[in-house]
Amino acid sequence: MVVFLGDPTANLHSLHAETGKDVAAAVTHMLAVPLANTIQKQQTAASPKPSKASASNSERTKATVLSSLLVALLACCAAGLLRLHRPQTLDLCKDWCSARNLMGGPYPQCVEGCLKEPSVVHYMGWLEASRDDAPRASGNSSDIIFGIWFSQGDRGAEGHDGHQFAGPNLAFASALQKSHPGCRIVILSDQDARDETWRMADGQQLEVFRMTIDKSKLGRNAYANYYQYLAQIAFMRNLTRQGLDASFNIVFMDMDILVVDSIAEVFSGADYDYALSISDATTMPINLGVQFIRKGRYEGAIEFLCGVINVYPFHETFVAGQIALGDYVELRNNERAVYATQTAAVREARACKQAGNSTVCFLTCLRYNYCHTDESCCTDAARLPISLQSFDELQRARPKMLHFVGHRKPALNLVHRAFMKGGREAAYAMWSVLPHTEAAYQLLKPFLEQHAM
């Protein structure tokens, strides 16, 4: 194993000669030490030395907190017993939560979440068992189109987070070329899209599909996803007119996603018109950052999107498109249905149902749209107590699409750089040593900005 000393930025150049686990271990060592030092300095600076009196108060506070946790645990257990009438389920959840590294939440919260969906204790085993059916990229991916939406409206840009990046970040494109050699990458945009915006650092020009929209309405508002859906429909109709509807599978995705392994298996097996990732966020179970359409099924996909548009809530915010999706597939605010669908997607690789005349399948976000945060993307300890945090957990579950939502975006370039140097395992190594909370990212923002270049 290579051990890095000195400046982590300079050390990145040494990754050129490394591959596989050596890179993963090297990247972890390279970042973990500076991150730990940075966090420790921030905490030391922010924490005054306690006096004897405050130490005594601290002990009383600890006792109070422990007492509160015990009360919460007893209440949780009682509620579980009353609801389930299965003491063995309670014991299963208690044992499972006791054995876990509870970085994502305290023990009572873990037990409560487990009692809501006891099958969660099997998720990791199911994910590990199915990873052999999820092959890495081999050969050519020329039958896959990755479509990315971006538009600059009069009220702001959509498809890119202006609070985190000055302009569109093209890291997703080079990652796709590495994980899916030969694939087509198409930017879906408005009538004024400029080619130079989509020119990669090595001079490659990304393909741009333009559609005329009313830019006076567009910003980070309800119209963002509305025009995105219209652009996706127009793009599929354009391919159909060219006689290519049976030639290409399509992945519509956000540009703050890094695809670190082949997703070719999504387009095999049971037929469907549309596939989406499912999370355990009952108020927003569908994140439209990832959408799949099979070749030969464009007509059903277009009909599905038209159904979503028919229930589109224009009075909502920029998440209106996700609300419409959740409502149209009858999952939003239906906790039992959401948990059952997520469990089936993990256990069986996909869970399918009819939405109108279209067949829609749901894939678990733990592999096809993974982010660990309290935002409506994938996991949250306040819901189901499952997340992929350690390098070992990531290796076992094999998430393929890493989504840098919200406050996680500053880490995108760092993980991208690791992936380009050392592949999927290096990306996991980097991901595993990063924090999850917004507060932690605020503390580490200068570090991330310095070492992501």
Query: Is the distance from CB of 379 to CB of 280 less than 8 angstroms?
Result: yes
Which three-class secondary structure string do you get for 284-349? CCEEEEEEEECCCCHHHHHHHHHHHHHCCCCCCCCCHHHHHHHHHCCCCCCHHHHHHHHHHHHHHC
Secondary structure letter of residue 199 according to DSSP = B
User: What band does 67 get if pLDDT is binned at 50, 70 and 90?
Assistant: very low
- Per-residue pLDDT of 72-128, as tens digits, reads 443 444 344 334 446 788 989 988 888 876 554 578 888 888 898 899 999 999 999
Whether the pLDDT of residue 32 is over 60: the answer is: no
CB within 8 Å of 320: residues ≥ 6 apart: 222, 224, 225, 226, 312, 313, 314
Mean pLDDT for 69-74 is 41
- pTM score, whole prediction: 0.82
Whether the pLDDT of residue 30 is over 80: the answer is: no
Question: CA nearest 252: which of 412, 368, 372?
Answer: 368
Residues 249 and 237: their CA atoms lie apart, in Å, by 14
Secondary structure letter of residue 383 according to DSSP = S
Alpha helix locations (H) across 375-437? 391-397, 412-432
- Per-residue pLDDT of 119-163, as tens digits, reads 999 999 999 998 865 455 455 799 999 999 998 888 777 665 555
Least confident of 52-61, 203-212, 389-398, 404-413: 52-61
Which three-class secondary structure string do you get for 85-96? CCHHHHHHHHHH
Residues 319 and 150: their CA atoms lie apart, in Å, by 15
Q: Tokens in use for 253?
A: 């995705």
What's the whole-number average pLDDT of the chain?
A: 81
User: What band does 255 get if pLDDT is binned at 50, 70 and 90?
Assistant: very high
- Per-residue pLDDT of 182-214, as tens digits, reads 999 999 999 999 998 999 988 999 999 999 999
Residues 91 and 19: their CA atoms lie apart, in Å, by 43
Query: Is the distance from CB of 220 to CB of 318 less than 8 angstroms?
Result: yes
139-403 architecture in CATH?
Answer: Alpha-Beta Complex (3.90)
Query: Is the distance from CB of 8 to CB of 412 less than 8 angstroms?
Result: no
Residue 403: CA count within 13 A, CB half-sphere: 24
Whether the pLDDT of residue 306 is over 80: the answer is: yes
- In the prediction, which pLDDT does 449 show? 74
Mean pLDDT for 374-399 is 81
User: What band does 448 get if pLDDT is binned at 50, 70 and 90?
Assistant: confident
User: What band does 307 get if pLDDT is binned at 50, 70 and 90?
Assistant: very high
Domain-wise residue ranges, the chain = 1-44+413-453, 55-116, 139-403
Q: Tokens in use for 204?
A: 């490659």
Whether the pLDDT of residue 350 is over 60: the answer is: yes
Which residue in this structure is represented by tokens 């007893």? Answer: 74
Cβ neighbours, 10 Å, residue 216: 10
- In the prediction, which pLDDT does 338 show? 93
Residues 399 and 368: their CA atoms lie apart, in Å, by 6
Question: CA nearest 401: which of 221, 277, 235?
Answer: 277
